[in-house]
Structures are given as structure tokens and as C-alpha cells.
């Protein structure tokens, strides 16, 4: 029996802010990521500390041009079609549709761009999978309202969501609300456009903003079910099981606590805050302001599937000595797991953890899973003739897809797999170009030099075969 079900959605995943470029074209407004340069200031800004809401002359902002997908999407989609993609995950840039976020009327040029993009995918029978918010908020909403800390964002988001759900109701049948909703706890500017003033209670603001996003997510689910009854709409978690470093019950409890960061998904999938989240709020003296009707809304409008990204597992410990040995580069901060190798950016490589994570999510939520991100960020060195032999990437993906098959054998309902960055794009965490995930190489470096020419890597044909054999040939 084939492991992967018929109609399994093989493909790739992208995000507007990491691919499109054309940051002010077609009437688009500035988004948060347009204020994130490469280099040391990026991290400061990502964590909510910014001193200007306009790009600066002496900084390089990779999102401004990115890989110019805005102008080159036809060429790129033709390459994805050549690989046999069944699905392509993209996000809509909020500021292309509502340049300021609080505009009364949407921007027609922005709407038309995505119409054209979805038509191009449909031309090749590629199913669009659309994230409504992937790490970008119109800058005006940050400046004028304080972004997601302000309840008004819920209304602006609802208007935006209803606009795109209505416009693309015949073209898009798979939707997702917020990308990696738990990211706002780690990179609050990236996940929610949050900027903190000196001395503010950051944790209180983050959880209040999270509540607003959860309400907005439920409203988008409601609208999607009303406007496109045959569509599916999911949530999206940055997943990765946390292992205890030892069998010491303190470590086990710590790992459990760390994993419970995914309480967001309990709210989105089960419709209510779990008891441990309420306890966490109590113990930390956090007060989440809710409006009348919020609880009912969350309860009545849960998601159809659980979208998640998986790059690595994490490890937790309570031992101060062990805690000194952190893996670098992973925004989720984890102690190094002595059994695992890491990527060049310090992310633990753990294919079996993928099977474990998928099983845990399935056991916990009993809703179909959609793997909407997985992949290896690595440096590719083209040979003298321009070819790229990315066997390390093939190795990573092969082992992960194999373990996804094991999870399916375990009985986990997985509807699709869109690997991250099927074409090289800007890294979300570092802004680098050299952290490449693609089957397709893009000639561009960290400083923005290069022709942007696309070249197939060795993994291109490999993935093509995986899809053609429905995961039988790895």
C-alpha cells in the first residue's frame, strides 16, 4: 500500500515579504519587514525595538527587491510546474491590498496582482494555499495604532480577510490565518508588529496581542466558511517537539511546559484557552482583556486543519550547566541535543522528530495536518559550470519525507507537504540570501548583487521524482 494518499498536496511554500520585492510598486504600502535590514540591527528590530518607521539610507533592506517574484512569478511557477507541484503556498501582502491597513477601500492593483498569480498557478493545476498574514503588518498600523496590541487591529484584519476571501473565492480553496502564530512570543515585531517602549511589561503586551490575533483568526475562519463553504482554512504553528534533556522529572516537566507554548493551537483548534494557559496567566499576573462574545466566537469558529512548520526538535533542561550549551541560530532557544547534528545555522537536524511531532499534533487535535514548511537552510557553492550539487539538501529532505511517511503509517492524517523555499528566498530570521532552501538557485548575494537568474539544482530533479512517484522514490 502506498504511504502517501492519492491527491496528496506535494509542493513548496513561499511568503510575499521574502520573495516579491517591488516593495512600493502597484500602490503597496510599507510593511514591517520593509524596515528590517540585514546585519546586527535586524535582531533588535525583530524583538520589538525600532527607532524609525522609515527605511534608512545607510542600511540594506532585503525585502525591497527580494528575488523579484513580483515581476518573475510566471517563470518561477513554470519551474514549479515542471517539478510537478500540486500545491504552492504563498501569502498575500496585507499592504498590497490595504496600503495603510485602515483604508476604507482596497487597492485594485494589489488585488489584480494576486488574481494574476492565482490564475497562473491554476493554469498548471497548482492548488494555491494562501496565508492571510505571514510576518507582515502595514507600517501605518504600527505607527498609528501600536499594531496588534490594539483591539482595532481585529477590525482592520477582518476587513482585509473578507476582502480577499470574497475576491478569490473561486480560485483559492486552502487558506491559513496567521503564519507561525507562536512566533510573536519570540520575535514580536516579526509576528505581530509589536514595538516596546522602555520599561513596558512586554510579556503582558505579547499575550494581549496574541488574544487579538486569535479573535481575528476566528473571525477569518467564520468569514471563510460563510463566503467559501467548500474551502478549508487552517492555523499555523512553528512546531517541533521539545525533548527532556534527561529523564529527571524536572527536565520532563520543563519540556512539557515549553511545548505548551502551542496553546495557540488549542484555542484555534478546540475553541478555548486550555487550563494550563489560564494558570500561566494567573501565575505571571497577566490580565487578558476580552470582550463580550470573544469566548463564544473562539468556540464556534475553529479551524479545519492544523498547518505547521517543522525544521527541528528542541531540547529542554533545568540543569544550569547544560543550559550553558545552547544551539545557536534557533529563535526558539534550545539546549544542544548531543545526539543530533546541526545545520550551518545551528538548527538541530532531526528527521525522527518530524514523525514524533506529527504524531503528537494528531493525537492532541485529531484534525488533518498540513506540513506547510520543512527544509534545510544551507550555503550552496555553484561549480565552475554553474551546476549546484546540493546532496546535503536531498539527504535532509529524503530523511524527513521518509519520516512523514512513517507518521502516515502510524495513522496520522496528513493532507500535504509544501517544503520551504522551493526557490531561494530571503531568510526571515537573518535577512540573508546565502541561507538557501531552494531546488532552484537564484543568483543574488547578501548585499543584493547578482543577476537574479534562476538555475535548477540537483535537488530539482530529485524532488520532481518524489512527486511523480507520490513519495515512493526518495
Can residue 422 be called a binding residue for ligand BG6 (CB under 6 A)? no
Binding mask 44-83 for ligand BG6 (x = CB under 6 A): ----------------------------------------
Per the listing, cell 499534533 goes with 361
Q: Which stretch binds ligand BG6 (CB under 6 A): 70-78, 218-226, 424-432, 445-453?
A: 424-432
> How many residues line the site for ligand BG6 (CB under 6 A)?
14
Binding residues among 258-317 for ligand BG6 as defined by CB under 6 A: 309
330 contributes a contact to ligand BG6 by CB under 6 A: no
Region near ligand BG6 per CB under 6 A, out of 268-276, 425-433, 444-452, 459-467: 425-433
Binding of ligand BG6 at residue 377 (CB under 6 A)?
Answer: yes
Question: Which burial class, exposed, middle or buried, applies to 63 when counting CB atoms under 10 A from its CB (0-12, 13-18, 19+)?
Answer: buried
Task: Determine the 3-state secondary structure of 353 from DSSP.
Answer: helix
Q: Which among 170, 167, 150 is positioned nearest to 159, based on CA atoms?
A: 167
Question: Residue 54 and residue 93: Cα distance in Å, rounded?
Answer: 18
Q: Does 176 bind ligand BG6 (CB under 6 A)?
A: no
Considering only 10, 174, 420, 441, the residue that binds ligand BG6 (CB under 6 A) is: 420
Q: How far apart are CA 163 and CA 174, in angstroms?
A: 16
CA atoms of 377 and 343, how far apart (whole Å):
7
Q: Which of residues 434-463 bind ligand BG6 (CB under 6 A)?
A: 435
CB count within 10 Å of CB 437 equals 25
Interface with ligand BG6 (CB under 6 A), residue from 428, 440, 466, 467: 428
Assess whether 120 carries a catalytic annotation. Answer: no
Q: How far is the CB of 238 from ligand BG6 (least distance, A)?
A: 6
Q: Does 238 bind ligand BG6 (CB under 6 A)?
A: yes
Alpha carbon distance 457, 424 (integer Å): 11
Retrieve residue 216's grid coordinates. 481575528
CB-CB neighbours of 24 under 10 Å: 12
Annotate 3-32 with DSSP letters as a single string. Answer: SSPTT-EEEEE--HHHH---TTGGGPPPBG
Closer Cβ to ligand BG6, 192 or 228, answer by number: 192
223 vs 237, beta carbon nearer ligand BG6: 237
Catalytic positions, written as ranges: 373
Residues that bind ligand BG6 in the complex, under the rule CB under 6 A: 15, 18, 135, 179-180, 238, 309, 373, 377, 420, 427-429, 435
Amino acid at each position: 500500500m502506498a504511504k502517501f494518499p492519492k491527491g496528496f498536496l506535494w509542493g513548496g511554500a513561499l511568503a510575499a515579504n521574502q520573495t516579491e520585492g517591488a516593495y512600493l510598486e502597484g500602490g503597496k504600502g510599507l510593511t514591517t519587514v520593509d524596515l528590517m535590514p540585514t546585519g546586527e540591527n535586524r535582531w533588535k528590530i525583530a524583538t520589538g525595538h525600532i527607532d524609525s518607521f522609515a527605511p534608512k539610507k545607510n542600511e540594506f533592506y532585503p525585502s525591497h527587491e527580494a528575488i523579484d517574484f513580483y515581476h518573475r512569478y510566471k517563470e518561477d511557477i513554470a519551474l514549479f510546474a515542471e517539478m510537478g507541484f500540486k500545491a504552492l503556498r504563498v501569502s498575500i501582502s496585507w499592504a498590497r491590498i490595504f496600503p495603510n491597513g485602515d483604508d476604507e477601500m482596497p487597492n485594485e492593483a494589489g488585488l489584480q496582482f494576486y488574481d494574476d498569480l492565482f490564475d497562473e498557478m491554476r493554469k498548471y493545476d497548482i492548488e494555491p494555499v494562501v496565508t492571510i498574514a505571514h510576518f507582515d503588518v502595514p507600517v501605518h498600523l504600527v505607527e498609528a495604532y501600536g499594531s496588534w496590541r490594539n483591539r482595532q487591529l481585529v477590525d482592520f484584519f477582518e476587513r482585509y480577510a473578507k476582502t480577499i476571501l470574497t475576491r478569490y473565492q473561486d480560485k483559492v480553496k486552502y487558506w491559513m490565518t496567521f503564519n507561525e502564530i507562536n512566533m510573536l512570543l519570540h520575535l514580536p515585531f516579526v509576528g505581530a508588529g509589536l514595538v516596546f517602549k522602555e520599561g513596558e511589561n512586554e510579556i503582558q503586551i505579547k499575550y494581549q496581542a496574541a488574544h487579538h490575533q486569535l479573535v481575528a483568526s476566528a473571525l477569518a475562519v467564520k468569514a471563510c466558511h460563510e463566503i467559501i463553504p467548500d474551502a478549508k482554512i487552517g492555523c499555523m504553528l512553528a512546531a517541533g517537539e521539545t525533548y527532556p534533556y534527561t529523564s529527571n522529572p524536572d527536565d520532563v516537566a520543563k519540556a512539557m511546559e515549553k511545548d505548551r507554548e502551542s496553546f495557540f493551537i488549542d484555542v484555534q483548534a478546540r475553541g478555548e484557552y486550555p487550563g494550563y494557559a489560564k494558570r500561566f496567566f494567573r501565575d505571571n499576573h497577566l490580565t487578558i482583556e476580552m470582550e463580550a462574545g470573544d469566548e463564544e466566537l473562539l468556540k464556534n469558529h475553529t479551524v479545519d486543519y492544523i498547518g505547521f512548520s517543522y525544521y527541528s526538535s528542541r531540547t529542554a533542561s533545568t540543569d544550569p550547566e547544560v543550559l550553558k550549551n545552547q544551539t545557536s541560530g534557533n529563535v526558539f532557544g534550545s539546549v544542544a541535543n548531543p545526539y543530533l547534528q546541526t545545520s550551518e545555522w545551528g538548527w538541530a537536524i532531526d528527521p525522527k522528530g518530524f514523525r514524533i511531532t506529527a504524531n503528537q499534533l494528531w493525537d492532541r487535535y485529531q484534525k488533518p495536518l498540513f506540513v506547510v514548511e520543512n527544509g534545510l537552510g544551507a550555503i550552496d557553492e555553484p561549480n565552475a559550470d554553474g551546476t549546484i550539487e546540493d546532496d546535503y539538501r536531498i539527504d535532509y529532505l529524503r530523511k524527513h519525507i521518509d519520516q512523514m511517511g512513517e507518521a502516515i503509517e502510524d495513522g496520522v492524517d496528513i493532507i500535504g507537504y509544501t517544503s520551504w523555499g522551493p526557490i531561494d528566498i530571503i531568510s526571515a530570521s537573518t535577512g540573508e540570501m546565502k541561507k538557501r532552501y531552494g531546488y532552484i538557485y537564484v543568483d543574488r548575494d547578501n548585499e543584493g548583487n547578482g543577476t537574479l537568474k534562476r538555475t535548477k539544482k540537483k535537488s530539482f530533479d530529485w524532488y520532481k521524482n518524489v512527486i511523480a512517484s507520490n513519495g515512493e522514490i526518495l
